[in-house]
C-alpha cells in the first residue's frame, strides 16, 4: 500500500521551496553586500590616503564611494538586511539559521497520507485477541527456553527483535489472507 502525498503536503513542499529560493536570494544578496563592503573599504582607504597626499582625483573616489553605498542600499532595500529573516516561520519558533535550514530540509520530505493507519496496526487490530494470546504464548516460550536475566545486551536485543518479528509476521499473514480468529 503506497501512500500518496496529500494536497496539504504538496502545499507545504511548494511553500518550503519558495522559502529555500528566498534563502538563496538572500545568500546572494549577502555575498554581494560583502563584496561591496570590501570595495567600499578599499575605496575609503584610497580616499584617506590620497586626501592627505593630494594624489589621485579625490572627486572620482567620492563618486565611487557614493556609487557603492547606493548599490548596497538598493540591495538591502530589495532583500532586507542579511540578518533579517522576514516572514520566516522559524524566526517565530526562535530557531537559528542552521536550525532553520534543517527545519526546511525536514519539511521537504513528502509526508505519507496519515488518513489511514499503518498496515501492521490494522493487522494487529484485525485479530486483536488472537495476537494478544499469541504474544502471551511466545512470551512464556521465551521465558521457558532462555534465562533472559543472564543474557547480554546483544542477545537480548536479538530475542526482542525475533519476538516482535514473529508476532508481526503472523498477524500480517492472517490479515493478508483475510483469516479472522473468532471462535466465539
Same domain, 22 and 86: yes
Q: Tens digit of pLDDT for each residue in 10-69?
A: 556 566 667 777 777 777 777 777 887 788 777 777 777 776 665 556 677 777 777 777
Specify if 93 maps to a domain.
yes
Same domain, 23 and 103: yes
Same domain, 136 and 92: no
Domain boundary among 107, 140, 166: 107
Structurally, the chain folds into a number of domains equal to: 2
Q: Tens digit of pLDDT for each residue in 150-161?
A: 899 999 999 999
Specify if 134 maps to a domain.
yes
- Closest-CA residue to 48 (of 67, 61, 66, 63): 61
- Domain residue limits at 46: 7-107
Specify if 21 maps to a domain.
yes
Distance of CA 169 to the CA centre of its chain: 32
Please state, as a whole number, how many other Cβ atoms lie within 10 Å of the Cβ of residue 85.
Answer: 19
Query: Taking the complete model, does pTM exceed 0.85, yes or no?
Result: no
Specify if 182 maps to a domain.
no
Same domain, 140 and 160: yes
* Residues 174 and 126: beta-carbon distance below 8 Å: yes
Amino acid at each position: 500500500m503506497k501512500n500518496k502525498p496529500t494536497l496539504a503536503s504538496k502545499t507545504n513542499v511548494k511553500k518550503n521551496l519558495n522559502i529555500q529560493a528566498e534563502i538563496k536570494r538572500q545568500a546572494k544578496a549577502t555575498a554581494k553586500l560583502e563584496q561591496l563592503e570590501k570595495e567600499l573599504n578599499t575605496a575609503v582607504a584610497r580616499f584617506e590616503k590620497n586626501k592627505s597626499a593630494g594624489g589621485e582625483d579625490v572627486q572620482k573616489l567620492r563618486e565611487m564611494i557614493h556609487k557603492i553605498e547606493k548599490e548596497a542600499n538598493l540591495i538591502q532595500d530589495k532583500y532586507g538586511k542579511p540578518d533579517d529573516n522576514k516572514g520566516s516561520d522559524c524566526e517565530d519558533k526562535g530557531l537559528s539559521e542552521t536550525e532553520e535550514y534543517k527545519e526546511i530540509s525536514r519539511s521537504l520530505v513528502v509526508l505519507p497520507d496519515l488518513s489511514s493507519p499503518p498496515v501492521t496496526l490494522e493487522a494487529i487490530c484485525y485479530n486483536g485477541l488472537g495476537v494478544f494470546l499469541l504474544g502471551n504464548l511466545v512470551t512464556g516460550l521465551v521465558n521457558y527456553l532462555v534465562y533472559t536475566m543472564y543474557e547480554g545486551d546483544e542477545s537480548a536485543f536479538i530475542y526482542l527483535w525475533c519476538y516482535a518479528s514473529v508476532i508481526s509476521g503472523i498477524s500480517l499473514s492472517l490479515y493478508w489472507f483475510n483469516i479472522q480468529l473468532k471462535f466465539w
